[in-house]
Structure 1
Amino acid sequence: MTSAILDRFLRYVVIDTQSDRTSSSQPSTEKQKNLGRVLVDELQAMGLADAHMDEHGNIYATLPATSQKAVPAICFCSHMDTAPDFSGTNVKPQVLRNYQGGDIVLPGDTSRVIRVSENPELARQIGKDIVTTDGTTLLGADDKAGIAEIMTAAQFLLDHPEIPHGPVKILFTTDEEIGRGADKVDLKKLGAAFGYTMDGSTVGEIENENFSADEVKISITGVAIHPGTAKGRMENAIRIASQIIARLPRDLGPEATEGRQGFIHPSDMTATLEGADINFIIRDFDVSGLHDKEKLLEDITREVMAGFPASTYSFTVLEQYRNMKMVLDQHPQVMDNLAEAVRRVGLEPKLTAIRGGTDGARLSFMGLPCPNIYTGGHAYHSPLEWISVQDMEISARTIVELVKVWEERAI
């Protein structure tokens, strides 16, 4: 699989698919469909006649069953867009063959260095082939590595019809990086019972948990008076908003939390003398912890507003997504089969939790239980992104082993 997966990956990453948070359409950028058309052509060339792209840019395809058993249809999903955090235009991938250790200086911007001290996983890549950019763009391994792995595994299964497996569904989504990846997915058309997103990082790490997430919007209306006659009358909305933010416990910010700790994060603010709007994202693995943080934020807001009796405010909580573990715990075979597949490729499964969101969480609550599998990529959303070709191959082999496990354990 090694040369095939590298060839696919290098072809995919040079296609600019960056999504756009400011766009209200889906896909948020039409250029995501450029990769979609390439993938549909390749899937159809493999012989998957139902492969197509819908009006939202989502790709659907089916690998027909080769088993006579009643094996559940399993879906493998990755997203086509790359993050808006850094440029994805004119990507120039570099392949460092037979890596022998040490820091990696990127040739397009030598001030950018992939340092071993910041990437401890490089220590286990000796002798492997490392793919980076030239340092001026993202690489796009998040999530074109997942796409290359799914495509390579599909081709392998087609080339080996003697391997019994149930129906394998393929789903490639748009706009995952801006939180809309599952918005327009048609699960009825997809026709899968269970799914797996290929969107993780270090090989061996599998994820059945993610943050539960809410957004809080605080809108403040102050009292605007000419500053020359403002004494005892002005209530400055900028000062009110600043006091709310200043009273947040510093140990509850994302910059002070890790592991299973949640946070309160003021993500955006617009303010004038007369009015202010503050947006927060609230994160916790437990919904009760989410609600505790929202109550704390509202208590702080109420206390601050008490000092400005002529001003008013609104406090709005918007649900974003929930921890997929609540769904996956009801279907233990999904993780059990995955753990077995990981062992079969020579790794010890390491169960981890995502300090963020995933298409898998949204899909799980839509009715498709869907944990996350490693792709081998590292340093996502930055020009220091890198991935090992051999780790991509391990991920593709994991897909193959997983569909075999589902078939073997079917009645």
Structure 2
Amino acid sequence: MIDRERLVERFLNYVKVKTTSDEESNTFPSTPEQIEFAKKLVEELKALGVKDVELDKAGYVYATIPSNVDWDVPPIGFIAHMDTSPAESGENVNPIIHKNYQGGNIELPNGGIVLTPEENPILNKLIGDDIITTDGTTLLGADDKAGIAEIMTAVEYMMKHPEFKHGEIKIAFTPDEEIGKGVDYFDVKKFGAKFAYTMDGGPLGELEDENFNADKAEIIFKGINVHPGYAKGKLVNSIRMASLFVTLMNENTLPETTEKREGYYHTTIINGMENETRLQIIIRSFDMDELKALEDDLFKIKEKVLEKFPKGEIDLKIVEQYRNMKYILDEHPEVLNIALKAFEKLGIEPERKPIRGGTDGSRLTFMGVPTPNIFAGGINFHSKKEFTSVNTMEKATEVILTIANLWAEENKK
């Protein structure tokens, strides 16, 4: 049903376009390359025959495929994000296809990087598959250009096959998801979907309707700068204040020491000079009480630092980012049920687990569009060890089409 070669071709073209987001940028989108990529996607959608396509001033791409049935079907959306993580370079990506993988290690040409089944047990399930990696110098960008390629391939199929029945299908591609701003200016009314699905998950079968509650702490350490030659009893070094703060954070509540349903806080940005240093810490938990406890811990650390540096000042502000979409999705079981039926129809075993992170869907769910997350095929996101499975991408595309068809069939009078 799916044009596999076209799917792969799309993906390879997309990952070669730099769309790295920038957390310290004051613009939206945070980088101009995302707008340029959005323009290319608009051109491609129009070339496929999609009439209602728009790139708005904030950098969002919206498109609509009209219903081709004569009964009422709720408008359903599919969403993927255009940016890639600033954690690793997304420039000059050189994707490599390892055809018909037969097990064992995959050696990348540069950087001494080796993908091993011991470190990546998922490889044992991908025997005979085509695996796409980079050359080892950049991330791949399967997060989330795999999702974009899958949605575009499903759109192409629907446009070429009018006999394929579906209701109104809404498409959106968003910027800056990787820095937590993906739906800051998202126009829910313009998008027009009643329910949606983000194609932004990992291995085959992932279906996620639960994610972290997320906040961030923005902390400013204010010191007193004096010429170091005459500083005794006067200098208060804000860099040392920030360093002590990070050192005092509980090592049992960091990303590298937690898993499954355990929450954490994680330092993401530090910059400054002797007189002022800024620190950003993200805070994550599936449980709101635990989230509050982690935040209270940061305020206790603040007081400990001020005991050491009584002449310094610390401004600590907590900013809400997103909440657990399960609270809302539980009120709309049909959204997940349709996805589960699509998985069953395609012979895919669902892997239900909470996301130790978030997606655009996390926030959209609270903006009035209940949006669970579906696998797109990428593994080792944000890393030079990132790779994807072509078979999984193909299955994800089939899931999009099957969900679209099932919404129409389930609502047939």
Task: Determine if the TM-score, normalized by the shorter chain, exceeds 0.5.
Answer: yes
**2:136 paired residue number:** 135
The residue matched to 1:210 in structure 2 has which SS?
Answer: coil
Does residue 12 in structure 1 map to residue 46 in structure 2? no
Note the C-alpha offset of 1:227. Answer: 7.3
CA distance in 1, matches of 2:32, 2:270: 30
| Shift in alpha-carbon separation, 1:376–1:307, aligned structure 2, 3 A | closer
**Cα contact 1:99–1:125 (8 A) shared by 2:** yes
Letter in 1 for 2:82: M
Q: TM-score, normalised by structure 2?
A: 0.92
**Cα contact 1:91–1:139 (8 A) shared by 2:** yes
CA distance in 1, matches of 2:362, 2:301: 31
Does residue 405 in structure 1 map to residue 374 in structure 2? no
Letter in 1 for 2:48: M
**1:61 paired residue number:** 63
The residue matched to 1:209 in structure 2 has which SS?
Answer: coil
Letter in 1 for 2:9: D
| Shift in alpha-carbon separation, 1:303–1:341, aligned structure 2, 3 A | same
Q: What are the superposed Cα offsets for residues 221-245 of structure 1, whole Å, 9 maximum, x if unpaired?
A: 4566777887777665555444433
**1:333 paired residue number:** 334
**Cα contact 2:342–2:399 (8 A) shared by 1:** yes
Does residue 118 in structure 1 map to residue 137 in structure 2? no
**1:71 paired residue number:** 73
CA distance in 2, matches of 1:45, 1:241: 52
**2:383 paired residue number:** 382
CA distance in 1, matches of 2:263, 2:390: 34
Letter in 1 for 2:98: L
Q: TM-score, normalised by structure 1?
A: 0.92
**1:393 paired residue number:** 394
**1:267 paired residue number:** 268
The residue matched to 2:132 in structure 1 has which SS?
Answer: strand
**Cα contact 2:195–2:371 (8 A) shared by 1:** yes
CA distance in 2, matches of 1:69, 1:294: 50
**Cα contact 1:337–1:406 (8 A) shared by 2:** yes
**Cα contact 2:62–2:171 (8 A) shared by 1:** yes
Note the C-alpha offset of 1:360. Answer: 0.8
Between 24-33 and 213-222, report the one with greater CA deviation.
213-222
The residue matched to 1:326 in structure 2 has which SS?
Answer: helix
**Matched residues, percent identical?**
46
Between 323-332 and 34-43, report the one with greater CA deviation.
34-43
**2:150 paired residue number:** 149
Letter in 2 for 1:348: E
The residue matched to 1:149 in structure 2 has which SS?
Answer: helix
Between 359-368 and 218-227, report the one with greater CA deviation.
218-227
Note the C-alpha offset of 1:276. Answer: 4.5
CA distance in 1, matches of 2:186, 2:369: 11
**1:321 paired residue number:** 322
The residue matched to 1:327 in structure 2 has which SS?
Answer: helix
The residue matched to 2:341 in structure 1 has which SS?
Answer: helix
**Cα contact 1:15–1:34 (8 A) shared by 2:** no
Does residue 250 in structure 1 map to residue 251 in structure 2? yes
| Shift in alpha-carbon separation, 1:277–1:338, aligned structure 2, 3 A | same
| Shift in alpha-carbon separation, 1:133–1:313, aligned structure 2, 3 A | closer
CA distance in 2, matches of 1:318, 1:153: 37
Letter in 2 for 1:135: G
Q: What are the superposed Cα offsets for residues 26-48 of structure 1, whole Å, 9 maximum, x if unpaired?
A: 22222223322222222112221
Structure 1 unaligned runs (5+)? none
